[in-house]
Amino acid sequence: SKRAVVALAEDVRIRTRRSGSQNTFQVEFDKSWIDDSDDWELVYYRVDPIPEGTTEVDLSRLRLALSKESVESLARHLGETYAVFLKRPDFTIKLGTEVVAAAEFADWSYLPEYPPRDYTGELTTADGDKVHVRLRAGLMRHSSQVGDYGVYLYCNDRFIVGALKDSSVGFVSGLLGQMHPSLSLLRAELWLSGPARAMPWNSTKSGLHQDH
């Protein structure tokens, strides 16, 4: 969120209150603080309380223009990225006054006795971390003409990146072979759960870091 707010707005105000705490704290910064490379310290203030377990982020002087299309695109992105969380009764995302709905893929194609295959297991990393692995693979009902087939990565219930079909997920000679449009019905979902340092996401949690 720290990098995201700087990319979105020039003026930022963040209030937060952790569960079980009586105090709400606030930090704020603007373009002048960002441009001052000699001072990266932030002063924090105690402010009027907000609900426990809540963080509020106020952005002003946005760096991008908002449109109906961009808002709708953001709603789809949030619904897909946080679908698992949005199904929980204690988690809500609002975009304006509208509640963002969970967007889960359900357009599988299979005979009743042959649903998408589901595998689970556990891996131990070189650092000794335990990572729970779930792999679900099957065929989509409709062939994707826009390239939406391939491997979809989820880390700690958050969607990271989808439609991977290159060597990073094994589509290379000697392993799975080269991905081909004839496989455009394939959808494989890789779900990983464990310590954040063991997740193969990049620094913005929007892509695969092959060396992580």
How does DSSP assign 157-190, residue by residue? TEEEEEEE-SGGGT-STTTT----GGGTTEEEEE
d(CA 188, CA 109): 13
Q: What is the pLDDT of residue 32?
A: 81
Same domain as 95, residue 124: no
C-alpha R_g of the chain: 21
Which residues of the chain fall short of a pLDDT of 70?
A: 1-3, 37, 143-147, 176-177, 179-183, 211-212
Could you say which DSSP state residue 156 is in? T
Q: What is the pLDDT of residue 29?
A: 87
Give the count of domains, the chain.
2
Same domain as 148, residue 73: no
Which residue range(s) make up the domain with 161?
117-198
Q: Final residue of a domain: which of 99, 128, 149?
A: 99
d(CA 8, CA 74): 13
How does DSSP assign 100-123, residue by residue? PPP-----B---TTSPPEEEEEEE
Please indicate, yes or no, if residue 175 is contained in any of the structural domains: yes
Residues 6+ apart with CB under 8 A from 61: 9, 10, 11, 31
Could you say which DSSP state residue 140 is in? B
Please indicate, yes or no, if residue 209 is contained in any of the structural domains: no
Select from 147, 152, 154 the least CA-distant residue to 183.
147
How does DSSP assign 22-36, residue by residue? S-EEEEEE-HHHHH-
Please indicate, yes or no, if residue 49 is contained in any of the structural domains: yes
Q: Which helix (H) or strand (E) holds 84?
A: helix 83-86
pTM assigned to the model: 0.78
Q: What is the pLDDT of residue 4?
A: 74
pLDDT digits over 142-165, tens only?
766 556 888 999 999 999 999 888
Please indicate, yes or no, if residue 62 is contained in any of the structural domains: yes
Q: What is the pLDDT of residue 163?
A: 86
Same domain as 127, residue 90: no
Please indicate, yes or no, if residue 110 is contained in any of the structural domains: no
CATH number of the domain encompassing residue 189: 3.30.230.10
